[in-house]
Copies of this chain bind each other. A is one copy, B any other.
Amino acid sequence: MNRYTYDEIRVGQTESFEVKITGQMLDDFRGMTGDTNPLHSDVGYAEAEGYEDRVAYGMLTASFMSTLAGVYIPGERSLIKELKIKFAKPVYPGDAITVEGEVKEKNDTFNMVVLKVTMRNDKGDKVLRGSMDILVR
């Protein structure tokens, strides 16, 4: 786990990691949230709707923004204040997602950094774009 202080963080700094989305994660997310939408649990339904497989919950993919902030940048001192998320392409079980954050701004008044977030699948397609305002404790 990184432990960057506010002063140690530079505009332009990037951190990234890879995560494999599994069918078990979709099942666990359904169990936790109660989101029983068949697009995420029923392959036949998802295929009939034009998808390759059941579709990962957008908010499951987005949940790795928590890891990006809380473990990578800034790491331990992270406190997420707000986020914006746009879903660009469907994510499927088996996809390996690269999660990248780049520091776009620093706000000295609030010890706040603005992180631009990009997630790509194995093919290099962007699946999620977002930003986070993170207070560095």
Contact = CB atoms under 8 A, between A and B. Distances in A.
A80 B58 contact: yes
5 contacts: A1-B36, A1-B37, A33-B66, A81-B86, A82-B86
Contacts of A80: 58-59, 87
Given A28-B31, A28-B32, A38-B76, 19 more contacts: A1-B37, A29-B63, A32-B60, A33-B63, A33-B66, A34-B71, A35-B70, A35-B71, A36-B70, A37-B75, A57-B63, A58-B66, A60-B63, A60-B66, A62-B83, A81-B86, A82-B84, A83-B83, A84-B85
A62 B84 CA distance: 12
Nearest to A133: B86
How many copies altogether? Answer: 2
Interface of A: 1, 19, 25, 28-29, 31-40, 49, 57-60, 62-67, 70-71, 75-76, 78, 80-87, 137
Contacts of A32: 25, 28-29, 60, 63
Most buried by B among A31, A39, A83, A86: A83
B82 A33 contact: no
A37 B76 contact: yes
A5 to B, nearest CB: 15
